[in-house]
């Protein structure tokens, strides 16, 4: 059964809450229907699926479908960059729930699907009429355990990272940059408007609006910053607290201060502040940077790329793949929309780079397992 909006979730709210309690998912914010629905918007609408065994709810798969000018694209994605937030089910039901969800979404018009998850078994389902590619690898994960003091925490890092945090913090201080432990919503918004123009990776305004909705949902959130000598915001980080866990949503750094490694400086200050306020863990929603990612708890990760074998979109995907290859050969970045159309038709190296496996190869130089399963029908 497809759950397309909040009204559909409300119909089965009690059953979902019961399932969350049964599988121990109550503490995982990404499996909270309210959190998931808050991340949806006009461009990313729910295409989630509820799976039943008779009259008993056994699984929910949280996915969103991309819309273009209000029109369904047929492309859906589930799970965040680190593989969290996709599956609410018991481990023994995982394969059945994944298979049933893919079949339901295909029946509802989804022709391309990218599922990102933390697999709890080795089973790899095959769905009739679908071309499926599985990408398995070990990644750093999104969980960073804190300590009782900042000095103790630094002692858990590698010597180079520890040295860099201390060195660049001193250098930033000498340059007149100060840590601001509490920015107002207005100060943060004004600073982000400028920083989003000064960063190497500008953020889609829709994603920034999503962050604000999430911070409101989780009681306002927290906004940290680095200010330059003239009071201008040169770095910003936001997130929210649940229990003793701080969930990092976003970080921006002024590219003009790249020599000061503001990312390491700001995260160092934030961690010190959070430890002093009683936090015991960081969770990086959407994945951590390599600076601290190598010290996060490692985990197994899986991407499943699912594409219908027949239909007009097959030719479009083949053509788009050739355009991506041409752009790569010419040394130009391929448009995100073009790669999205390709989905699982992309060549293996590009598939890897579009997932958490790409950065992870710098930390865990282990073989990446990519398997393709083609159904008979």
Q: What is the pLDDT of residues 131-164, one digit of tens each?
A: 999 999 988 888 999 999 999 999 998 888 999 9
Q: What is the pLDDT of residue 376?
A: 53
Let me know if the fold of 2-138+300-311+347-374 is the same as that of 143-293: yes
What is the predicted pLDDT for the residue at 375?
58
Backbone angles phi, psi at 51, to 5 degrees: -110, 135
CA–CA separation, 182 vs 236, rounded Å?
10
pLDDT digits (tens, 9 = 90+) for 204-249: 888 899 999 999 999 879 999 999 988 899 999 999 999 999 999 9
Instruction: State the pLDDT at residue 312.
Output: 83
Tokens 């492309």 correspond to 75
Q: HSE on the CB side for 242, CA within 13 Å? A: 17
**Beta-bridge partner residues of 251:** 237
Measure Cα distances from 45 to 4, 13, 51, 313 in Å.
Answer: 7, 18, 19, 21
What's the chain's Rg over C-alpha atoms? 21
Which of helix, strand or coil describes residue 315?
helix
Of the candidates 127, 133, 185, 71, the residue with the CA atom closest to the CA atom of residue 304? 133
In this structure, how many other beta carbons lie within 10 angstroms of the beta carbon of residue 214?
21
Q: How far apart are CA 111 and CA 48, in angstroms?
A: 15
Instruction: Report residue 92 as tokens.
Output: 């023994």
Per-domain boundaries in the chain: 2-138+300-311+347-374, 143-293
CB 217, CB 165: distance < 8 Å: no
Of the given ranges (152-166, 260-274, 287-301), which has the lowest mean pLDDT? Answer: 287-301
Which pLDDT belongs to residue 13? 96
| β-sheet with 222-227: strand ranges across | 143-145, 281-284, 245-253, 233-242, 222-227, 178-180
Nearest to 290 by CA among 337, 200, 356: 356
Compute the mean pLDDT over every residue in the chain, rounded to the nearest whole number.
Answer: 90
pLDDT at 377 over 70: no
With cut-offs at 50, 70 and 90, classify the pLDDT of residue 374.
low
The CATH architecture assigned to 143-293 reads 3-Layer(aba) Sandwich (3.40)
With a cut of 90, say whether residue 292 has pLDDT above it.
no
pTM to 2 decimal places: 0.91
Find where tokens 């409101």 sit.
216
Q: What is the CATH number of domain 2-138+300-311+347-374?
A: 3.40.630
User: What percentage of the chain exceeds 70 in pLDDT?
Assistant: 97
CA neighbor of 308 nearest in space, from 111, 43, 53: 111
The Cα-based distances of 162 to 151, 152, 232, 264, 291 in angstroms read 10, 11, 27, 10, 10
Band of pLDDT at residue 35, cut at 50, 70 and 90: very high
Burial class (CB in 10 A: 0-12, 13-18, 19+), 329: exposed
Helices (H), the chain: 6-11, 13-23, 33-39, 94-107, 150-155, 159-174, 185-198, 205-217, 262-276, 290-293, 312-329, 336-342, 348-353, 357-360
Q: Which of 62-76, 224-238, 254-268, 320-334 has the lowest mean pLDDT?
A: 320-334
Query: For the chain, percent helix, then strand, then coil, each to nearest 5?
Result: 40, 25, 30
Question: Residue 50 pairs with which residues in a beta bridge?
Answer: 60
What Å distances lie between residue 347 and 117, 129, 322, 352, 366, CA to CA? 21, 21, 10, 9, 19
């Amino acid at each position: 059964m497809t759950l397309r909006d909040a009204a559909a979730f409300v119909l089965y709210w009690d059953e979902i809450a019961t399932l969350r309690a049964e599988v121990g998912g109550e503490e995982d914010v990404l499996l909270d229907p309210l959190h998931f629905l808050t991340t949806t918007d006009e461009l990313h609408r729910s295409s989630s699926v509820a799976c039943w065994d008779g009259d008993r709810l056994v699984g929910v798969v949280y996915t969103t479908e991309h819309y273009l000018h209000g029109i369904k694209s047929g492309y859906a994605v589930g799970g965040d960059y680190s593989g969290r937030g996709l599956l609410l089910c018991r481990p023994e039901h995982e394969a059945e729930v994944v298979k049933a969800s893919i079949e339901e979404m295909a029946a509802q018009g989804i022709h391309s699907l990218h599922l990102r998850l933390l697999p709890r078994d080795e089973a790899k389902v095959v769905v009739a009429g679908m071309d499926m590619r599985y990408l398995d690898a070990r990644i750093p994960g999104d969980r960073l355990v804190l300590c009782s003091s900042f000095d103790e925490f630094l002692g858990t890092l590698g010597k180079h990272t520890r040295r860099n945090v201390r060195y660049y913090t001193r250098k930033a201080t000498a340059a007149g940059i100060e840590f601001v432990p509490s920015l107002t919503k207005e100060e943060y918004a004004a600073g982000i408007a400028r920083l989003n123009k000064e960063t190497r990776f500008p953020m889609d305004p829709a994603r920034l609006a999503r962050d604000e909705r999430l911070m409101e949902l989780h009681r306002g959130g927290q906004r940290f910053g680095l200010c330059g000598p003239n009071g201008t915001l040169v770095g910003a980080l936001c997130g929210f607290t649940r229990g003793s866990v701080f969930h990092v949503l976003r970080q921006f750094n002024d590219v003009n201060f790249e020599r000061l490694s503001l990312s390491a400086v700001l995260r160092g200050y934030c961690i010190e502040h959070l430890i002093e306020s009683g936090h015991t863990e960081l969770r990086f929603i959407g994945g951590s940077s390599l600076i601290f990612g190598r010290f996060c708890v490692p985990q197994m990760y899986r991407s499943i790329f699912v594409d219908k074998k027949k239909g007009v979109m097959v030719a479009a995907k083949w053509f788009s793949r050739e355009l991506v290859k041409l752009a790569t050969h010419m040394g130009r970045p391929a448009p995100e929309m073009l790669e999205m159309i390709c989905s699982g038709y992309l060549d293996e190296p590009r598939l890897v780079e579009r997932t958490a496996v790409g950065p992870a190869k710098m930390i865990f130089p282990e073989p990446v397992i990519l398997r393709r399963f083609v159904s008979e029908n």
